[in-house]
Structure 1
Amino acid sequence: MKRQLKHMLCLLLLFAATGCESFLDEKPDNALVVPATLQDLEALLDDHSVIANNYPSMAEISADNYYLTDVDWAGLPEEEYRRAYIWEKDRVFLPRRNDWYYAYRSVYSANTVLETVEKIHRTPAEAARWDNVKGQALFVRGSSFLQAALLWAPVYREGTAATDMGIPLRLGTDFNEPSVRASVEQSFQRIILDLKAAVPLLPVTPVHVIRPSRSAAYGLLARTYLYMGNYPLAEVYADSALQLNATLMNYSSLNAAASFPIARFNPEVVQHSLLMSLNPSLAVSRARIVPELYDSYADDDLRKTVFFRNNGDGSFAFKGSYSNSGLFGGIATDELYLTRAEARARQGKVPEALDDLNALLITRWKDGTFVPLTAGDQAEALEIVLQERRKELVMRGLRWMDLKRFNRDGAGITINRTINGQEYTMPPHDPRYALPIPEDVIELSGMQQNPR
């Protein structure tokens, strides 16, 4: 059943993200299964190659957590990969199979479920299962739209969000409906609407953390509001998530010498997903952690050995993923503690912010060595929280959204890369912070490209 559904989706998804005036000339295979039952819909949502294992990785590729040597950059197998690393203005995605395709592939799966589940009678015996299916689909669509907005839309600014170009909001499976770009405001309101609608439908405890839960939906709402700069609501939703799951691992119990010390599906994982590995820039054999980040960890901070592997040449690779060998792209309790701490610090709740931060950090340092952090005022507390956010959430695909929002708020961060003696820079407010939509998508859909 899962294989038949997957074949059907692969056929249908050819034009799902762009819209078209006609479908395929060839008649579809009569053996393909049209989803019609809750079991069918669960099979679509449990296809992790579509839903959970291909989150866009370009945010991490574009951010400043790592660097490539000249040799490794030159050895990338595609020109688009080399262009992406140095923030070129166009042609940074391979055609067809790219971050856009995978984001909207998930959207299409979610829309298929949402359209079909309404045709299935919600019986008392199957009510919880029906709700869970619909809630999962809403979560998947909201999450996919959020990933797309963080990549292809300019940063959320309250004053201009109503007119800034956002993303296409595909809300159905009709290929004949053209794709048009909603505003940034409309894009984020849809994300919020989907995630809020998912909350009461999802279970508190999922069958497995690959499936979303109520705390996962709260966590994504917290991430969304943090990015938007709505700190009271970021605090509310991070707190709601932590009320359901506040577990933290003690890093002293981990084997820091292991190739990958942190277990997949560990107790901190609220919802598990992976950044796609299509672009090899992030391979552990290539991506080297920038020295200033590695040097920011104190010697008694266990993250210095749990997160990083010595390459033997003075550089370090990242090995601390919450998904073992793959790069974790989901939601975990450590992010929720940091979101609540930042939201509280920005509201002047300094003691509460430091309580959150210290609760996290005591689990990251060698037993008996951690001294709780203090701050003299709100500005110092916020600075400490943001430093720890950078150190804790490394290589999770979150740094790009942080750079965008920090620069919106006046941080003035310029990031740099050097290849073959030539320096490439990404200054604050550069239009390239909204990545170019893949050229084949523009050609098929007629949508307006991001300004360069």
Structure 2
Amino acid sequence: MKKLICLSMVVLLFCTSCKKFLDEKSNQNQAVPETLVDLQALLDQYQVLNYVDGNAAEISTDDVYLNDADLGARPENERNMYTWQRSNIFLQDGNEWFYNYRAINRTNVVLEAIAKIGKTAGNAAEWDNVSGQAYFIRAKNHLRGLYIWGNAYGEQSPSDLGVPLRLGSDFNVPSVRATVAQGYVQVVSDLQRAVQALPLKAVHVMRPSKPAAFGLLARVYLSMRKYELAKLYADSCLSLKADLVDYNSLNAAASYPIGQFNVEVLQDSYFTSPMLNNARGKVNPALYALYEANDLRKVVFFSDNKNGTYGFKGSYEGNSNFFSGVAVNEVLLIRSECLARAGRLSEALADLNRLLRSRYKKNTFIDRVGNDQQAVLADILLERRKELLLRGLRWVDVKRLNMENAGISFSRSYKGVIYQLKANSTGFALPIPERVIEVAGLPQNP
């Protein structure tokens, strides 16, 4: 039994933060979380739940590149990830798998404890809020795992393996990779529970709310290519909150012009990456060239390195961390794309134009028009590319668009060697950390 527990701790890497909380409570003669206040405290440890989103999905895309000197100075695993190698791309400990499942375990602890507290007339609102937060966070982390370690969702490949679905805190339950389809079913189920339980407005956007859960459901269904449902949940989100930041009101010359917790943010979370920050990471020149002269994103998002290259400064965190939460601009673009795919072009363009009016210099933007479905859709996808860079969304966007025959491939060079990741390659499902495979016996991605 001791061997099994130790093995589970290595593979699942769940218990560190929860143990710390429980140890603190034991000093007050309380060894387990017993009240809703205790459970909310578990969910308010933002360094465990909000601020540990992984960077693998962004390092693996084409938003940013490194020159040979900067890449050569990075650790071997980061160089391997950057060039799409099939081994040694994650650290052995403290890696993306660890942070993902540590957060999931935290939510399972909360959900098991809240079931013992019970819901009453007196605590109903607080009880619902706490449980809704736990379901939201569990769904978000399982979803991120599917994006990184699973293939694109596709009904023609129901046996594709995704990630283990951990729905309880018992370390003795072995981890088994569920299929991609099963993973999405679980994510949707958890988010539907969250939608029912969460309040219309959270006390702070570091906690999820009903609009945030609707927005995340729209993201889920978009990545499943279930566009009618994605549009439905985007509608629900935007009917509750649809504020946009007018970029004309920003100081584009600031080091980080966009403030943290701004009015567009529905739920705040972020990832860090020394490899991608603007001291090393250079914005893809082809991406930078997409922005027109009067597009304020060209100066709000990018810092001029004075040597023909540009860094990214447009994070919704207001600093060098990379925003990966849920925001109104993403949901608006989801709805616009889904409307275009349904042939509702005037409505799709209305959403797109509303967004872009807040992004261009005042009185310079001319509304986009069109009656060709493919042209309108292409325009919306281009603006999605320009608006949502460095949020951890490009990776899954490419995977799902390649299922629509987009044929998007990546190419990079390092020390004169060209590396490629071809459209629909198995390389779009990153290898699971070797230590997890070794100890747990999970099947590795091909």
TM-score range, shorter chain: over 0.9
Aligned to 2:394: 399
Aligned to 1:86: 83
- Tell me the amino acid that sits aligned with residue 371 of structure 1: I
CA-CA distance at 1:19 after TM superposition? 9.3
Aligned partners of 1:19, 1:116: CA distance in 2, in Å? 16
Aligned partners of 1:16, 1:111: CA distance in 2, in Å? 17
CA contact (8 A) 1:104 1:144 kept: yes
1:55 aligned to which of 53, 62, 74 = 53
Aligned to 2:328: 333
CA-CA distance at 1:33 after TM superposition? 3.7
CA-to-partner distance for each residue in 1:335-364, whole Å, 9 max, x for gaps? 011000011111111111101000000000
Aligned to 1:287: 281
CA-to-partner distance for each residue in 1:300-340, whole Å, 9 max, x for gaps? 00000000000111000000000111100001100011000
- The alignment status of 1:163 with 2:159, answered yes or no, reads yes
CA contact (8 A) 2:14 2:98 kept: no
CA contact (8 A) 1:108 1:173 kept: yes
3-state SS of paired residue (2:253): coil
2:350 aligned to which of 350, 355, 359 = 355
Matches within 5 A, 1:272-311: 272-275=268-271, 277=272, 279-311=273-305
Following superposition, which runs of at least 4 residues in structure 1 exceed 4 angstroms of deviation? 28-32
3-state SS of paired residue (2:270): coil
CA-to-partner distance for each residue in 1:232-278, whole Å, 9 max, x for gaps? 00000011100010000110000000000000000000000011x2x
3-state SS of paired residue (1:416): strand
Aligned partners of 2:379, 2:405: CA distance in 1, in Å? 17
3-state SS of paired residue (2:444): coil
Matches within 5 A, 1:140-219: 140-160=137-157, 162-219=158-215
CA-CA distance at 1:376 after TM superposition? 3.2
3-state SS of paired residue (1:119): helix
CA-to-partner distance for each residue in 1:53-78, whole Å, 9 max, x for gaps? 001111111111010000100111x2
- The alignment status of 1:346 with 2:341, answered yes or no, reads yes
3-state SS of paired residue (1:189): helix
CA contact (8 A) 1:265 1:272 kept: yes
1:248 aligned to which of 244, 249, 273 = 244
Identity between Structure 1 and Structure 2 (%): 47
CA-CA distance at 1:13 after TM superposition? 8.8
- The alignment status of 1:138 with 2:135, answered yes or no, reads yes
Aligned to 1:434: 429
TM-score normalized with structure 2 length:
0.94
2:308 aligned to which of 296, 314, 320 = 314
Aligned partners of 1:82, 1:70: CA distance in 2, in Å? 10
3-state SS of paired residue (2:123): helix
CA-CA distance at 1:121 after TM superposition? 2.8
Structure 1 residues 305 and 12: CA distance shift in structure 2, 3 A: farther
CA contact (8 A) 1:302 1:366 kept: yes
Aligned partners of 1:138, 1:13: CA distance in 2, in Å? 23
3-state SS of paired residue (1:166): strand
Aligned partners of 1:19, 1:68: CA distance in 2, in Å? 33
**Larger deviation: 416-425 or 327-336?**
416-425
Structure 1 residues 13 and 294: CA distance shift in structure 2, 3 A: farther
Aligned to 1:34: 32
Aligned partners of 2:65, 2:11: CA distance in 1, in Å? 35
Q: How big is the alpha-carbon RMSD for the aligned residues of Structure 1 and Structure 2?
A: 1.8
TM-score normalized with structure 1 length:
0.93
CA-CA distance at 1:15 after TM superposition? 4.3
Aligned partners of 2:304, 2:7: CA distance in 1, in Å? 46
Aligned partners of 1:169, 1:286: CA distance in 2, in Å? 36
CA contact (8 A) 2:114 2:127 kept: yes
3-state SS of paired residue (1:167): strand
Aligned partners of 1:95, 1:34: CA distance in 2, in Å? 30
1:259 aligned to which of 255, 262, 287 = 255
CA-to-partner distance for each residue in 1:358-381, whole Å, 9 max, x for gaps? 000000000000000112310001
Aligned partners of 2:261, 2:105: CA distance in 1, in Å? 27
CA-CA distance at 1:225 after TM superposition? 0.4
CA-CA distance at 1:37 after TM superposition? 1.0
Aligned to 1:66: 64
Aligned partners of 1:302, 1:271: CA distance in 2, in Å? 24
3-state SS of paired residue (2:395): helix
**Larger deviation: 56-65 or 186-195?**
56-65
Aligned partners of 1:272, 1:353: CA distance in 2, in Å? 27
3-state SS of paired residue (1:282): coil
Structure 1 residues 363 and 13: CA distance shift in structure 2, 3 A: farther
- The alignment status of 1:447 with 2:435, answered yes or no, reads no
